[in-house]
Amino acid sequence: MADLLSSRNLRRWLPWALIVLVALVLPVVLPPFRLNLLGRFLSLGIVALGVDLIWGYTGMLSLGQGIFFALGGYALAMYLQLNELKPGELPEFFSLYGVKSLPAFWQPFNSPLFTLVAIWVIPAVVAGLLGYLVFRNRIKGVYFSILTQAALLVFFNFFNGQQKLINGTNGLKTSTARIFGELIGSDAMQRNLFWLTVVITVAAFLLCRWLTHGRFGDALIAIRDDEPRLRFTGYNPTAYKTVVFAVAGALAGISGALYTVQSGIVSPQYMAVPFSIEMVIWVAVGGRGTLIGALLGAVLINYAKSLVSEALPETWLFIQGGLFLLVVLVLPDGLVGWWRQGGPGRLIAMVGWPPRTATYPALDLDPQVVAEQDQLERSGGGQG
Amino acid sequence: MDLLYDTLFNGLAIGSVLVLAALGLAVVFGLMGVINMAHGELMMLGAYTTFVVQNIFKAVLPEALFPIYILVALPLAFVVSGLAGLLLEKTVIRRLYGRPLETLLATWGVSLILQQFVRSVSSAFAIGLVVAVVAGILVPRFTPKVWWQQRWTPLLGTGSWIVTGLVGVVIASVLGEQRVFDQPWFSARNIDVTAPVWLRGSIDVGVVNMPAARLFIIALTVVALLLVNWFLQKSVWGMRIRAVTQNRTMSDCLGIPTEKVDALTFLIGSGLAGVAGVAVTLLGSVGPNLGGNYIVDCFMVVVLGGVGKLAGTVLAALGIGILSYVVGSGSLLLVWPAMPEGLNAVITFFATTSMAKVLVFALIVVFLQIRPAGLFPQKGRMVEA
């Protein structure tokens, strides 16, 4: 038993156990409403993976992932609006604004194949373009964060203001649309979507793992830790940053599409400023620079949010604000980082149960020694 | 032609508020490299201070004094927001020195807390909060000193704060049973501030009819700018602030107390946000979400203006304010009816407040392609700007 819990073995069987639990057990156990919520949170985990790639690994804090999230959602929702319409018919909301013919940019979304590609290619292209324009000028740090936030606001205002093109503030409803003759809002369909989400989440996780393990991942971490040095070694950080930003955009698009069909609507609210910052806190709480942390953080925080909002809606903002402060000040590497750096052992040691240590417990756990160690880590690991 | 001046004047007024709001942000950002996401909420505190001052004048003081309440509100708002900012600097930002992205996230957390605080604060809530904080601070004084040098001291510290927090919650909910204590002070609704009579009318200057409130805002901005400029250029502490902005390490070596400079700058920057909050109340009703409406615009001002000079902030703020007002109000069409067809269509497309923002932000991104460090970049020879 003790052997099974050793960290090497844990790594081998725990992921499979988790996947089996989530994919096979939970759909039977949970009521449809909770299952649907879990499906949504898992799809939010995909966008968190993207945030982790660009923030946790590359050190660029984007506050505009909502753009790509919503673009993916809109792409799928447009297809669903057009799907199973008779020739010559228009989606219902167009009649409200007296639009007589389908706008040209809607036309390609008649094709399911195009839509499947567009869900991730359009966000990736937008992200790549935006990223290139910003990175080319070596704009980084807080400037980058502010610019992504401004871009987010641009898209938000644009989508909000265009009633005639995309139904403005009201957004596009998908829960009443049909696919394969089945209502998307129905329980059976939602369960299928849940499984689809699980499969895609695992795939996205593996993709990110592949990206971060290897030379590409090393370059990303180098950009985070010392970009000028990487540049002087002959690499071109702009290319790496653009690519990774585009990948994160694509992940956000896929995530947005999955989230849209499971929540039943896509609206400009997905591009609201707070939502995009929330994405960062999921990653921060879970543990940035660790992929599993991003997933865990997204699911945990959103689950907590839905629980708290059901019981005491007024306190959620306090808790969320407190989380931001707590994570930044006390747990800079998140839950997973805390776990990996022996946090639980230290916690147990505080109540007088010394863990196995390299030297003598009395020395390793001396408050002064620990404080000094902390200080050294902080001054050495302080990064922008 | 009147229309043109009218539009320009209104744009100037909007831009002035932006100058006031962004001034503090720019000074702090230039000095500490810190982006304060709670800056908008400090503005909100200023606005709510104005509201409280107005209500006190209405309820307690003789009616004859009411017209001057805004002159009382101005320094008070400066003090309230400034102290809130000072507290924020001492408790949070100081610990995150040199980690700008983490500071950004932490201050966002603070802004969320402040927003919800204004929505749900009631007498019961306030009493509970004060009790919890005071008790939490007092715990170490009334417990044996040895307890605070143990292996389990961190657990004790966390535990004591949790306990005092719970005590605060219990007190708040017990008091909340009473109606008197349960009434929220402001609630989530927007509040309205009545401008004094002398700010309600309008003044005719030549052909242009200027609303007095907006004229007051412009005058306020000019005064604030002059004061800040005098402070930075002529006073001893201003000189120290400029020195630290230019080269922190060298200033530290030469004996400038950089920590005090940081705290002072943060106090002044936050105080200016409070003054901006007073100005905003004159433009319309304000609510807990006030900060969110201004904060991104303020960031744009900082990005566009650069951190080298005050002039950058002023130019950028006026430019953004005037341009978005002129485009957004659609008055270009009225001023110049004989516009070519194509241009006409473009202008109509952008002639709403939100679409004007789209255009202005797009222009800023284009501008940054030419001058990545803004209008007035800080000069230096470092690899990292």
CB-based burial, A100-139: b 16+ in 10 Å, e otherwise = eebeeebeebeeeeebeebbbbbbbbbbbebbbbbbebbb
Same domain, A283 and A370: no
Identify the weakest region by mean pLDDT among A121-125, B36-40, B139-143, B306-310.
Answer: B306-310
Same domain, A298 and A367: no
Q: Is residue A16 part of a domain?
A: no
- In the numeric block, the tokens 């000193």 are attached to B145
Output the pLDDT for position A125. Answer: 95
C-alpha distance from B116 to closest chain A C-alpha (Å): 6
Chain A contact present for B364, CB below 8 A: yes
pLDDT digits (tens, 9 = 90+) for B278-298: 998 888 788 888 888 788 888
Q: Is residue A376 part of a domain?
A: yes
- Name residue A1's amino acid: M
Domain with A350 in it: 342-384
* Banded model confidence at residue B176, pLDDT cuts 50, 70, 90: confident
Output the pLDDT for position A1. Answer: 46
Q: Indicate which of A276, A317, A333 best probes the interface with B, i.e. most B CBs within 10 Å of its own CB.
A: A317
Number of domains in chain A: 2
> What residues in A contact B152, CB-CB < 8 Å?
350-352
pLDDT digits (tens, 9 = 90+) for B344-381: 777 777 777 778 888 888 888 888 878 777 777 766 55
3-state secondary structure of B203: strand
**Does this complex have an ipTM over 0.85?**
no
Identify the weakest region by mean pLDDT among A43-47, A115-119, B206-210.
Answer: B206-210
Percent of chain B with pLDDT over 70: 94
> What residues in B contact A59, CB-CB < 8 Å?
101
Same domain, A321 and A355: no
Same domain, A306 and A382: no
Same domain, A220 and A84: yes
Q: Is residue A9 part of a domain?
A: no
Residue that is last in its domain, among A286, A303, A329: A329
Same domain, A356 and A304: no
pTM of the model: 0.86
Q: Is residue A43 part of a domain?
A: yes
Same domain, A317 and A348: no
Q: Which of B 265-304 lie inside 8 A of A, CB atoms? A: 292, 296, 299-300, 302-303
Angle, nearest 10°, between helix axes A273-286 and A32-51?
A: 80
Output the pLDDT for position B85. Answer: 93
Same domain, A310 and A353: no
Percent of chain A with pLDDT over 70: 93
- Name residue B358's amino acid: V
Contact B153 A367 (CB under 8 A): yes
Decide if pLDDT at A167 tops 60: yes
> What residues in A contact B155, CB-CB < 8 Å?
347, 350-351
Output the pLDDT for position A191. Answer: 86
Tell whether the torsion through CA atoms of B197, B201, B204 and B210 is positive or negative: positive
Same domain, A217 and A360: no
Same domain, A360 and A240: no
Same domain, A322 and A189: yes
The DSSP code sequence of B226-273 is HHHHHHHHHSHHHHHHHHHHH-HHHHHHTT--HHHHHHHHHHHHHHHH
Decide if pLDDT at A100 tops 90: no
Tokens of A49: 């993976």
Q: Is residue A7 part of a domain?
A: no
**Average pLDDT, stretch B95-120?**
88
Same domain, A323 and A350: no
Q: Is residue A225 part of a domain?
A: yes
Contact A147 B303 (CB under 8 A): yes
**Average pLDDT, stretch B28-37?**
83
Taking all residues of chain A, what is their mean pLDDT, rounded to a whole number?
84
Tell whether the torsion through CA atoms of A316, A33, A294 and A374 is positive or negative: positive
B60 burial (CB, 10 Å; 0-12 / 13-18 / 19+) is exposed
Output the pLDDT for position B213. Answer: 83
Q: Is residue A91 part of a domain?
A: yes
How far apart are alpha carbons A215 and A368 in whole angstroms?
Answer: 39
DSSP state of B377: P
